[in-house]
């Protein structure tokens, strides 16, 4: 099997710790090249040809803006994506970066999730760009053999000579088209005046020699094919201009591909706008009426005396509660995905776990489930208060999927500078091929007896990612079921 080349990431920062942090984030998936000043970075750009540049703004001697400008304008490298990493957040600073040629910005300190997301997005666009560039280069490499029309026009723009490839492109035999006027016979009417003017200027010396231009030709089928033309003047024995040598490359498909690429980028931008709109609708336009339905149904349950009607109202109330949970979960996940970084405080995770267990005590009683708490004392950790949502979601997941009359175990292990929290159930378990999928949005594997949204574990994964920690699921080593685990940093 042929191994796939890894992308090269050039990290430019004058602070060694910042460079090492980026190396730690990236080295598993990318080849990391480092530079500690602007001059060194410019040298690495030429010799290493990186796929993406992570560029610090504030550096001595030559700042990131100057490095970016040189790469874009002096080196004439148009499409190495450049992500500027900066503590500066004003619109003026961003505008300065855009004018220098930056593609994206990341605020210090950089979070791994946001970094991965921007790298993936830019690499995807760059791969599409490189594919188009490769197609163009292949066409240039084989110009003498495929896809190149070469012709000679006299001073009246009549066709004097055309190569076989050219006649094949046009769809006519050579003898049928020689001596025909090039512009009136093959150039679409709406382009004829422009093409004639450009050739007039070339013969009079008003334009640069050997210039490129684009215009279409009408081929024998009636189709218009777009060509990129390279024109040069011909001289007679006395040195006077006698005609024009033209060579044209068919770029129709390439231009279509470029249009598709731009349309794809536009659709991506539009999809992000629609996602933000839908999140606002979830938070405001749907949650408020759902809350009113819940309140009125609860009032009706209290006053309704007819048991059949009361049962219907209770079903309405249960369905409304599920709807509210779905809306709140989806809105909460959307909000989490828009967050790049969070603050941390010292908290006792044992106490929070106990609170989560208590909140599900009635549900456990209904199923006859016992809970084993395999920890005691305090366990101080450096966390954000939103970690309570993780504990709650893991407990909810365990109670839903564990078997009736079974046990749930909650454990905290000491693993060096981390606490490892695990929740073990005795449910159906999760096949190995699905262990990663359970943390994806709307991926719910158990669909027979338990209905859920699949959002809860996606929220767990996002919150743990914001903590720069790990989360996963294993088979229960003591029998049927699963062990959901996560790590959190200890507080000193």
- d(C-alpha 365, C-alpha 121), whole Å: 48
What local confidence, expressed as pLDDT, does residue 277 receive? 57
Could you tell me which residue, 410 or 213, shows the higher pLDDT? 410
Closest among 392, 389, 388, 401 to 452, alpha carbons compared: 401
Q: What is the mean pLDDT of the chain?
A: 83
**Mean pLDDT value of segment 474-492:** 91
Tokens coding 447? 């669909």
Burial class (CB in 10 A: 0-12, 13-18, 19+), 69: middle
Q: Over 90: is that where the pLDDT of 429 sits?
A: no
User: 459 or 452, which is more confident?
Assistant: 459
Higher-pLDDT residue of 324, 149: 149
Quick: pLDDT tens for 95-150: 888 888 888 888 888 888 888 888 888 888 888 877 766 764 554 344 344 457 88
Give me Rg for the CA atoms of the chain: 33
**What average pLDDT does range 168-176 have in this prediction?**
88
Query: Where does 148-250 sit in CATH, by number?
Result: 3.30.450.20
Of residues 479 and 217, more confidently modeled: 217
Per-residue confidence band for 324, with pLDDT thresholds at 50, 70 and 90:
low
User: What confidence tier does 348 reach under pLDDT thresholds 50, 70, 90?
Assistant: very high
When pLDDT is averaged across residues 81-105 and rounded to a whole number, the result is 84
Per-residue model confidence (pLDDT) at position 35 = 93
Q: What are phi and psi of 84, to 5 degrees?
A: -85, 130
Per the DSSP assignment, residues forming a β-bridge with 411 are 374, 422
Spatial distance between the Cα atoms of 251 and 213, rounded to a whole number of angstroms: 12
Which residues have C-beta within 8 Å of that of residue 20, sequence separation ≥ 6?
none
Residue 381: burial class (beta carbons within 10 Å; 0-12, 13-18, 19+): buried
d(CA 378, CA 477): 27
Higher pLDDT, 183 or 130: 183
Domain-by-domain residue ranges, the chain? Answer: 8-141, 148-250, 258-336, 345-489
Which of 176-185, 200-209, 284-293 has the highest mean predicted lDDT (pLDDT)? 176-185
Instruction: Tell me if 472 sits within 8 A of 485, measured CB to CB.
Output: yes
Which of the four pLDDT bands, split at 50, 70 and 90, describes residue 313?
A: confident
pLDDT tens per residue across span 2-23: 445 789 999 999 999 888 989 9
Q: How far apart are CA 355 and CA 41, in angstroms?
A: 52
The answer to whether residue 447 scores a pLDDT higher than 50 is no
pLDDT in tens, 412-423: 999 999 999 999
The residues near 326 (Cβ < 8 Å, ≥ 6 apart) are: 453, 455
Burial degree of 348 (CB within 10 A; 0-12, 13-18, 19+): middle
pLDDT of residue 453: 45
Residue 269 has pLDDT above 80, yes or no: no
Cβ atoms < 10 Å from Cβ of 53:
27
pLDDT of 39: 92
Pick among 3.60.21.10, 3.90.1640.30, 3.20.19.10, 3.40.50.2300: CATH of 8-141: 3.40.50.2300
Which band of pLDDT confidence, cut at 50, 70 and 90, is reported for residue 307? confident
Contact 52, 83 (CB under 8 A): yes
3-state SS record for 293-358: HHHHHHHHHHHCCCHHHHHHHHHHHHHHHHHHHHHHHHHHHHHHHCCCCCCCEEEEHHHHHHHHHH
User: Which residues on adjacent β-strands are paired with residue 56?
Assistant: 85
List the structure tokens of 337: 């995905």
Dihedral angle, C-alpha 206, 210, 213, 219, nearest 10 °: 120
Cα(52)–Cα(81) distance, integer angstroms = 5
Please give the pLDDT value at position 61.
85
pLDDT at 201: 86
Answer yes or no: are the C-beta atoms of 119 and 72 closer than 8 Å.
no
Which range, 10-14, 174-178, 287-291, is most confident? 10-14
- Minimal CA–CA distance to 422: which of 351, 352, 485, 336? 485
Q: What is the DSSP track for 88-116? A: --SHHHHHHHHHHT--EEEESSPPHHHHH
Q: Is residue 229 scored above 70 in pLDDT?
A: yes
The CA distance from 68 to 63, in Å, is: 9
pTM score over 0.75: no
> Which of 1.10.760.10, 3.40.50.300, 3.40.630.30, 3.30.565.10 is the CATH number of 345-489?
3.30.565.10
Q: Kindly state the DSSP code that residue 145 receives in the 8-state scheme.
A: T
Rounded Cα distance, 236 and 320, in Å: 89
Over range 14-35, report the average pLDDT: 91
């Amino acid at each position: 099997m042929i191994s796939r080349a890894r992308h090269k990431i050039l990290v430019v920062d004058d602070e060694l710790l910042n460079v090492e942090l980026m190396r730690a984030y990236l080295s598993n998936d990318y080849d990391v090249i480092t530079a500690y000043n602007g001059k060194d970075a410019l040298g690495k750009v030429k010799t290493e040809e990186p796929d993406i540049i992570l560029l610090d703004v504030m550096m001595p001697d030559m700042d990131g803006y100057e490095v970016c400008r040189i790469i874009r304008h002096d080196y004439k490298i148009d499409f190495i994506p450049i992500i500027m990493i900066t503590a500066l957040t004003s619109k003026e600073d961003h505008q300065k970066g855009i004018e220098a040629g930056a593609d994206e910005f990341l605020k210090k300190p950089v979070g791994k999730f946001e970094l991965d997301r921007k790298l993936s997005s830019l690499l995807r666009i760059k791969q599409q760009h490189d594919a188009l560039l490769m197609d163009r280069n292949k066409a240039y490499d084989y110009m003498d053999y495929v896809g190149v029309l070469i012709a000679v026009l006299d001073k009246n723009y009549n066709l004097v000579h055309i190569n076989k490839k050219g006649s094949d492109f046009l769809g006519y035999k050579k003898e049928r088209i020689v001596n025909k006027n090039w512009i009136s016979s093959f150039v679409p009417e709406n382009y004829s005046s422009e093409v004639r003017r450009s050739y007039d200027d070339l013969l009079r010396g008003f334009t640069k020699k050997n210039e490129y231009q684009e215009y279409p030709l009408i081929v024998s089928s009636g189709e218009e094919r777009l060509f990129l033309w390279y024109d040069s003047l011909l001289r007679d024995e006395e040195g006077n201009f006698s005609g024009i040598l033209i060579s044209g490359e068919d770029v129709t498909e390439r231009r279509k591909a470029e249009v598709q690429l731009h349309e794809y980028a536009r659709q991506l931008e539009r999809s992000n706008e629609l996602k933000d709109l839908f999140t606002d609708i979830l938070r405001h336009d749907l949650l408020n009426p759902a809350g009113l339905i819940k309140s009125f149904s609860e009032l009706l349950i209290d006053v309704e005396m007819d048991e059949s009607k009361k049962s219907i109202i209770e079903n309405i109330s249960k369905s409304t509660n599920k709807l509210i949970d779905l809306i709140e979960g989806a809105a909460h996940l959307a909000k989490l995905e828009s967050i790049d970084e969070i603050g941390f405080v010292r908290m006792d995770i044992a106490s929070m776990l106990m609170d989560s267990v208590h909140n599900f005590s009635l549900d456990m009683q209904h199923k006859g489930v016992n809970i084993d708490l395999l920890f005691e004392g305090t366990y101080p950790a450096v966390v954000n208060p939103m970690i309570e949502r993780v504990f709650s979601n893991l407990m909810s997941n365990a109670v839903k999927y564990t078997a009736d009359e079974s046990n749930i175990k909650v454990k905290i292990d000491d693993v060096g500078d981390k606490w490892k929290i695990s929740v073990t159930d005795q449910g159906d378990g999760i096949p190995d091929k699905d262990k990663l999928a359970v943390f994806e949005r709307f991926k719910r594997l158990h669909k027979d007896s338990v209905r859920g949204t699949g959002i809860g574990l996606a929220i767990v994964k996002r919150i743990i990612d914001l903590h720069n920690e790990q989360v996963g699921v294993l088979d229960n080593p003591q029998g049927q079921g699963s062990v959901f685990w996560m790590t959190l940093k200890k507080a000193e």
